[in-house]
């Protein structure tokens, strides 16, 4: 029968068996999955593990700072940040197709971890032959949606599964690959991962890159970041963080509509709010959230983000819609 204790013991043994005395790199995003994967691997092989956090330039407001301080203060695991935003933004330039974006992001993540690997080798001043293991917090739904499950169709390539480049040389360590999010949260709690991290809402590895419909540019990222920060602040203030599984905020960057702001005509972009309720992200329903909270978010975004003159609510369940727009 299923128990968190059993799974932890079983995975720890499996990890030790897989990596032996080798050094291991973990791709940490600050989210639940990679944090719990890191905690499991840390329990299994201790200091053989080094965690890297890649700033891909597609993060939300304050996210990098928050992840750095959360881990330093609570996890007891050393995290090295690498700023690779230039690389990701150049890789995305000119790209509008969702799967092409996802594959570019997946590829650049692996290139970034190869840089991390070289850093470790330089630091240790050895040949680094044993540094070939990469920990990822891949969950069962990621595998299924990327077309890896039995008889599954490829719905979208998750950056850490279907988005990986063919020439990758890392051997993957994925202790959560058969689990769902609620199971991962239970394991995280048992391992002592702080509630602040365990309870965090899901945020996709490709970040804001798949929430800008159209080409990703620095300017567009700034607009989305500002709108997203307002929505998150108001949802938290209204006490909705638990009821809502996650609320993607999406910028329709190639769409314009006419508005009137201040004393003039505007021709700005719409922002989409996508609050969803879900058990495991495999299916979802749009959250019937209070109108007054929606009104507050809409007012604030259109007042504070000058490029946005319209806020719309996505009232589609999954299926037929997916949670993210790309
Ligand atoms: P969809 O959009 O497929 O999303 O309904 C299901 C859940 O997965 C998250 N998601 C991702 N997470 N890498 C991730 O780490 C990805 O490439 C990715 N794509 C979607 C999404 O936020 C939702 O929680």
Q: What is the residue-wise DSSP string for 98-136?
A: HHHHHHHHHHHHHHHHHHHHHHHHHHHTS--TT--EEE-
For the segment 177-197, the average pLDDT, to the nearest whole number, is: 95
Ligand 1 pocket: which of 32, 54, 200, 202 to mutate (most atoms within 8 A of CB) = 202
Which ligand 1 atom is at minimum distance from the Cα of 106? Answer: 17
Residue 284 CA: nearest ligand 1 atom is 5
Q: Tell me the three state secondary structure of residue 144.
A: helix
Cα-based angle 72, 158, 250 (whole degrees, multiple of 5): 80
Q: Hunting for tokens 């999406």 — which residue is that?
A: 250
Q: Is the CB of 204 under 6 A from ligand 1?
A: yes
Tell me the CA distances in angstroms from 197 to 70, 99, 171, 185, one per residue in order: 8, 29, 26, 9
Q: Name the pTM for this structure.
A: 0.95
Q: Is 241 helix (H, G, I), strand (E, B) or coil?
A: coil
- What is the model's pLDDT at position 88? 98
E strands, the chain, where? 24-28, 49-55, 79-83, 133-135, 171-173, 212-213, 249-252, 257-261, 264-273, 276-277, 285-286, 308-313
Q: What pLDDT, on a 0 to 100 scale, did the predictor assign at position 1?
A: 60
pLDDT at 151: 65
Check residue 75 and give its pLDDT: 77
Is 34 annotated as contributing to ligand binding?
Answer: yes
Burial of residue 117 (CB within 10 Å: 0-12, 13-18, 19+) is: buried
- Residue 225's pLDDT band (boundaries 50, 70, 90)? very high
pLDDT of residue 147: 87
- Which two three-digit tokens encode residue 192? 């002592």
CA–centroid distance, 126 to ligand 1, in Å, is 38
Question: What average pLDDT does range 195-206 have in this prediction?
Answer: 95
Q: Is the CB of 66 inside a 6 Å radius of any atom of ligand 1?
A: no
Instruction: Write down all domains in the chain, each with its CATH number in brackets.
Output: 4-198 (3.40.50.620), 211-313 (3.30.300.10)
- Residue 76 is predicted with a pLDDT of 76
Q: What integer is the mean pLDDT of 125-153?
A: 88
- Closest ligand 1 atom to residue 324 Cα is 2
Mutate to test the pocket of ligand 1, among 281, 282, 284 (most ligand atoms within 8 A of CB): 281
Beta carbon of 268 within 6 Å of any ligand 1 atom? no
Instruction: Output the average pLDDT for the chain.
Output: 95
Is 33 annotated in some ligand binding site? Answer: yes
Nearest CA to ligand 1 atom 6: 281
Strands 264-273 and 257-261: antiparallel
158 lines ligand 1 (CB under 6 A): yes
249 lines ligand 1 (CB under 6 A): no
Q: Is the CB of 326 under 6 A from ligand 1?
A: no
């Amino acid at each position: 029968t299923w128990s968190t204790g059993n799974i932890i013991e079983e995975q720890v043994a499996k990890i030790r068996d897989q990596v032996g005395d080798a050094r291991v790199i973990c791709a940490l995003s600050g989210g639940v999955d990679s944090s719990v994967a890191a905690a499991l691997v840390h329990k299994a092989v201790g200091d053989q593990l080094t965690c890297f956090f890649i700033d891909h330039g597609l993060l939300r407001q304050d996210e990098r700072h928050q992840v750095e301080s959360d881990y330093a203060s609570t996890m007891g695991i050393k995290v090295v940040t690498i700023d690779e935003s230039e690389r990701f933004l150049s890789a995305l330039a000119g790209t509008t197709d969702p799967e092409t974006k996802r594959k570019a992001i997946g590829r650049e993540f692996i290139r970034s971890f190869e840089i991390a690997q070289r850093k470790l080798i330089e630091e240790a001043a050895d040949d680094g032959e044993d540094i070939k293991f990469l920990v990822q917090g891949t969950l069962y739904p990621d595998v299924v949606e990327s077309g890896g499950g039995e008889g599954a169709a490829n719905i979208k390539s998750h950056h850490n599964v279907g988005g990986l480049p063919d020439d990758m040389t890392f051997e993957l360590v994925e202790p959560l690959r058969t689990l769902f999010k609620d199971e991962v949260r239970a394991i995280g709690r048992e391992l002592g991962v702080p509630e602040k991290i365990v309870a965090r809402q899901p945020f996709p590895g490709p970040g804001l890159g798949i929430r800008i419909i159209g080409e990703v540019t620095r300017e567009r990222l700034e607009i989305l970041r500002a709108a997203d920060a307002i929505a998150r602040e108001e949802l938290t203030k209204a006490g909705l963080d638990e009821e809502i599984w996650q609320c993607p905020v999406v910028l329709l960057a190639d769409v314009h509509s006419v508005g009137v702001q201040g004393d003039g005509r505007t021709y700005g972009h719409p922002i989409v709010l996508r609050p969803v309720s879900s058990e495991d992200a495999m299916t979802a329903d749009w959250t019937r959230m209070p109108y007054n909270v929606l009104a507050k978010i809409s007012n604030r975004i259109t007042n504070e983000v000058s490029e946005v003159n319209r806020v719309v609510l996505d009232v589609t369940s999954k299926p037929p819609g997916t949670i993210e727009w790309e």
